[in-house]
Amino acid sequence: MNKRYVFILIILLTINSLGFVAQDNGSLENTTDQAAGQIENGIYLELGGNAGIYSLNYERLFRLGKISIAGRMGFSFLSERLFIEPEDNKGLEILIPFGANALYSFAGSHRIEAGLGGTYYSHKVYAITTNTSNINNQPVSTDLIRKNDFWLNFNMGYRFQKSTSGMYYRAFFNGHLSRRVLADSPNSHSQYSVLTLDPWAGISVGYGF
């Protein structure tokens, strides 16, 4: 099984197990927030952030004492007509961000959050395929192939969210940790990879229920 899918499966199982822990805690403690109908779900639009440009996300909130854990998963589709010349026929780019955020309320509805996650990225790139039949024929024509990438994310920021249903807002700094493959020169067959950290940021508007 592909390592990326194994990693995604582990994240989903971890989020699910946090839900069981939160339910057990809820059965032992009948808090006033729960009696008032504390929210457990959220849907939000994220601009920037873990998917780069935008993403639509669902999150599930689990209360663990004073700290809440929000497991999230989203999706983003980018059309070549928005960013790429249509004649390139690169099709859709697909991004699936996922992860978990820890939330701490320091003054009523004001919260700080920090989280870890990842993003699956499927897109088409130009590639040169060399073999015994064309290695001596220069230049070799390029082909469009679909490539699947994965990068790790971290974020830290501010969230305004009430305990009851309604709109909520996020603003945060985040970074993408990925490995890039480079070549010594454009015509070189010698390649190497480097680990890079790309700083980024995002804002979100969502609805909790």
| pLDDT number for residue 175 | 94
**Amino acid present at 131:** N
What confidence tens digit (pLDDT) does each residue in 20-37 have? Answer: 444 444 443 444 444 345
Candidate ranges 9-23, 74-88, 165-179; pick with highest mean pLDDT: 165-179
Give the tens place of pLDDT for each residue, 98-125.
Answer: 999 999 999 989 999 999 999 999 988 7
Cβ-proximal residues to 58 (8 Å cutoff; 6+ apart), any chain: 41, 42, 43, 72, 73, 74
CA 36 to chain centre: 32
Is the pLDDT assigned to residue 91 strictly greater than 50?
yes
Of residues 121 and 11, the one with the higher pLDDT is 121
Looking at the chain, the whole-number percentage of residues with pLDDT higher than 70 is 65
Identify the pLDDT of residue 38: 77
First to last CA, the chain: 36
Q: What integer pLDDT is reported at residue 131 of this predicted model?
A: 66
Residue 202 pLDDT more than 90? yes
Query: Which sign, positive or negative, has the C-alpha torsion 13, 95, 153, 192?
Result: positive
- Tell me the C-alpha distance between 105 and 87, whole Å: 50
- What per-residue confidence (pLDDT) applies to 27? 41
Q: Is 7 exposed, middle or buried (0-12, 13-18, 19+ CB in 10 A)?
A: middle
Residue whose C-alpha is closest to residue 106's, from 161, 155, 59, 57: 161
Domains annotated on the chain, with CATH = 3-208 (2.40.160.20)
